[in-house]
Chains A and B, each alone.
Chain A
Amino acid sequence: MVRNSVPTWSLRWHALDGSPTNVRMLFRKIAIRVFLPVFWRSSRRRTAAGLQRFAVTELDSAWQILHVLEHARDPVLRGKAFQHAMEELHHSVEFDRVSRQVLPELPPRPLPEREPLFEAECGSDALMDFMAYAHVGEVDVFDQFDSYAAGIGPGDARKVFQEAKADEEGHAGLTIAIMKGAGLAESDIRKRVFKVRLSRAWGAWLRFSKNLGDVNLSVVLTLLYVVFGGLLAWPCRWRIAQSYALANPHLAGV
């Protein structure tokens, strides 16, 4: 998993330096362990929607890797990327399957707009940035999946979390190996990971702001609906009743 996610590797660093990232992760894990069972187990729809979000994220990861694969030329890197994409795709299909087991009438998965994390025009530096991004994502979900597996209770969904967790651990190691294999020094890798964290924090802020804006818009629209809806409903009904005549003025009276 590439997006929405803290590396075991970087966590070890942060565990040494006591950075806030580690504390944040700890709080998050506690939150998942405490609140997830209450939240998810009380509503099948919420559980299914939550699992579906993982399916969406994993599919996006698979796509991001395929996007890299399309531009990479080194067969060894491509081979690793291919296997990685296959695993992420498998996770996505499995999360989707268990979400539908929980709630068959769940609407199809949301279709977010794709934003490539790797821009081919920026060369090999962009590839290393992508690997840093992927690494952060993989380690983050590695930690989260454990908590989710414990929180969701026994069943197929738990198995999917556990299997995915094992794969994500391998992916985190792979991304580091690729960066080191490309000759990046540890300090450079740290720098890139830090940049990724900043950009993800900025992204989270933007998402929060947008969601806040959406809530405000919804409140305004609801008020408009309540206050003016009654006034507008009658002319709208008239418009619908007249729609055939209005669409076919030349046939009016036929």
Chain B
Amino acid sequence: MIVLGLSAHEHGATAAVVRDGQVIAAAAEERFTRQSHDPNFPRFAIEFCLREAGLPAHALDRIVFHEDPHSRFTRVMTTTLATGFPWSPRLFVRSMAEWLSGRLWVRNTISRRLDVHPDKVSFVPHHLSHAAHALASSPFDEAAVLIAHTIGEWGCSVLCSGTIEDGIEIDVHEQLPYPHSLGLVGASLALFCGFRPYEGVRALSDLAAFGRPSQLEALREIVTLQPDGTYRVQPDWLALDAIAEQPHSSPFTPRFRAAFGEPRDTRVPLPFRSSQKGPAPTPDAQAIRFADLAASWQVLVEEAVLGLARRLHHHAPTPRLCFTGALADNPRLVARLDADGPFDTVFVPPAVGARGAAVGAAMLASAPPRQRSAQSPFVGRAYDETADAEMMAIVEPRYWPRFRLRGCDSDPNVRVEVRPGLALDALVDVVVADLAAGRVVGWVQGRFGLGPHSAGHRLVLCAPANADAAMRLNERVVDRPSWHHSGLAIAEGSAVKVLELEGPPGILHRWGQSTARPRPEVLDQVCEAVHVDGTVRPTVCTARDTPRLHHLLCAFGDRVGLAALLTATLREGELPMAASPADALLVFARTELDTLVINNLLVKKESP
């Protein structure tokens, strides 16, 4: 059975084709449109998926959408009238206009745009889509599933369990419905601290490490933890209906502002630095206020999710947990859940959120996967670099400096060396020498991944002990402040040498979903990957998952003694991850990326 799973109108419209439980192809629309978290109908992602499956749309057995739009419409209308009337006509009108002019008629839209009969299109409740994706992409046949997301139809946190036998069976044990959404409170706090509401979960978690939980008691008035493990969100602190439907409208009520002050002015940078080397900058009172708020939220959300996990374990006493939803994109929370939660093994899929939901919806409608192992997230498009090599041989880099990212080196005399068709060993030799010399390298290989973080095939790399390279990677390539926590790619064989692990690295460190403590004896060698709280965010690379990156790591290990590299997703600023060679070359041309590898093509900047 071949099923197309779709998500749209959410942050990250996605399409996925699943044949008999195996993901053939899946991609977020943003990979093709260069708009971060593009919520529009995933036209290009669908075209790619169908091309990859070798099918026309009418040959699909079913098309499933990741939520029930009618149920969701009911909830939106109910909440905007219940909480806002008579003071929120604008929110009501905007929400209803958006729904009535398109979202409500998604079956017809899909049918019309794919030219298929409307009967082929069906809906899967949103939480079931999440649960099915988490379970099907895990190596488990049976597990408890904890979903902590912003909001679906009604459910915000959902406790369920599932099994995979002849099909995916999900039992929902308990739902915490609107307004009890940790995700919406987290999104509001991210907005308050100056980040994008839905993508800010990870930034908030990174910022938390610089603060103390001094505002925990105040936050406890917004989210009150219950003795039974659940929690309640008090609705008069934040206008959650506003942020749920119009994510960038201000949700801060006068009561919230009186308690926590005004939101952060994003023109003033946060004066923190993750690097352990050199004098630490002195943050001002305002910066400390936001770091403390983030730290307080981190503690609270950890307590809340641990409470939910214990309650779920009571409902479903199994040793295995799949954790998904927007909050699962918080590596510190995942680490705490793994360490202090009631489950022996925790799995977090590499694509949480709407992207995973599209895959999950298709999985639920398809037969179960035949092989039970954690599925690879590299199900996106692969590109041929031949035409790009020819193009790069004739471009004129002297025109580039004027169009560089602000703050980047703009030497007009820079030359570009292009070496196409290199064998892997020769390629790796050059890259290792560059990394050892403190250069920043872009790494593009094969198919791109589904998740928001590349986890291996679209990376920026540098030596993890080189402070200057790490600063350039953060501030002059990825264009983000240095206080963000970079990842650390480690070759599987070196994981025990780098991380304080009790056994071999587990599935939680496979795609950088969690944090871990580095061994004291290697601290100097990985110092730029160590966050201010003493943790690293490791991705343990295996020869099976990411063979070429694994080869590079091993070669780097042979040269410097430790097979580990500092990583970030290959992107520039707020643009989405580079998907195609042209996207990657734009990052190369506009930033201080010194070397770029695209499959077997090596492009390198040389100063005369």
Chain A residues packing against B (C-beta within 8 Å):
59, 62-63, 66, 69-70, 73, 75-76, 78-79, 82-83, 85-87, 89-90, 93, 96-97, 100-101, 104-105, 107-108, 111-114, 214, 217-218, 221-222, 225-226, 229-230, 232-233, 236-237, 239-240, 243-244, 246-248, 251
Contact = CB atoms under 8 A, between A and B. Distances in A.
Contacts of A243: 154, 177-178
Contact of A86 (B38, B78, B387, B589): B589
Interface string B173-207: 01111111000000000000000100000000000
A-B residue pairs, 3 tightest by C-beta: A107-B248, A236-B82, A90-B403
B305 to A, nearest CB: 19
Contacts of A237: 82
5 contacts: A78-B390, A83-B395, A86-B590, A239-B82, A243-B177
A111 B38 contact: yes
Nearest to A62: B34
Interface string B385-404: 00110110111100110110
A66 B582 contact: yes
A75 B393 contact: yes
A217 B100 contact: yes
A112 B33 CA distance: 10
Contact of B387 (A59, A63, A75, A96): A75
B401 to A, nearest CB: 11
Interface string B338-373: 000000000000000000000000000000000000
Nearest to A86: B403
B92 A247 contact: no
A237 to B, nearest CB: 4
B41 A226 contact: no
B406 interface: yes
Contact of B179 (A78, A89, A113, A240): A240
Interface string B571-606: 001100000101101100110000000000000000
Interface stretch (B162-170, B260-268, B279-287): B260-268
Contacts of A93: 405, 573
Nearest to B175: A247
Contacts of A78: 387-388, 390-391
A240 B396 contact: no
A216 B39 CA distance: 25
B589 A75 contact: no
The residue among A59, A243, A246 with the most chain B CB atoms within 10 A of its own CB is A243
B40 interface: yes
A224 to B, nearest CB: 8
A236 B590 contact: no
Contacts of B180: 244
A223 B40 CA distance: 29
A243 B250 CA distance: 25
Contacts of A96: 574
Contacts of A108: 196, 248, 574
Given A221-B96, A233-B82, A243-B178, 4 more contacts: A111-B39, A111-B40, A114-B35, A114-B40
Contacts of B93: 218, 221-222, 225
Interface stretch (B83-91, B131-139, B212-220, B319-327): B83-91
B560 interface: no
A248 B267 contact: no
B104 to A, nearest CB: 13
Contact of B394 (A76, A225, A230): A76
Given A86-B589, A104-B267, A105-B263, A236 B78 contact: yes
Nearest to B191: A105
B310 to A, nearest CB: 16
Contacts of B399: 83
A236 B100 CA distance: 19
A63 to B, nearest CB: 5
A2 to B, nearest CB: 14
A104 B265 contact: yes
Contact of A101 (B32, B38, B267, B395): B267
B154 A87 contact: no
A110 B268 CA distance: 24
B81 interface: yes
B44 interface: yes
A236 B81 contact: yes
A73 B387 contact: yes
B232 to A, nearest CB: 9
Contacts of B40: 111-114
B155 interface: yes
A244 B159 CA distance: 13
B82 A240 contact: yes
B607 interface: no
Nearest to B155: A247
Contacts of A112: 40
A37 B37 CA distance: 34
A63 B33 contact: yes
B387 A66 contact: no
Given A89-B586, A233-B85, A247-B154, A240 B97 contact: no
Contacts of A73: 387
Contacts of B86: 226, 229-230, 233
Contacts of A83: 395-396, 399
Contact of A82 (B81, B97, B101, B391): B391
Interface string B305-332: 0000000000000000000000000000
B525 interface: no
Contact of B81 (A62, A113, A233): A233
A112 B43 CA distance: 13
A82 B581 CA distance: 11
Contact of A100 (B44, B176, B267, B396): B267
Contact of B41 (A97, A113, A229): A113
Given A82-B585, A230-B86, A240-B78, A218 B97 contact: yes
B394 A229 contact: no
A69 B584 CA distance: 13
Interface in B81-139: 81-83, 85-86, 89, 92-93, 96-97, 100-101
B586 A86 contact: yes
Nearest to A76: B394
A70 B92 contact: no
A111 B12 CA distance: 11
B390 A75 contact: yes
A93 B82 CA distance: 40
Contacts of B582: 66, 69-70, 82, 85
A136 B396 CA distance: 26
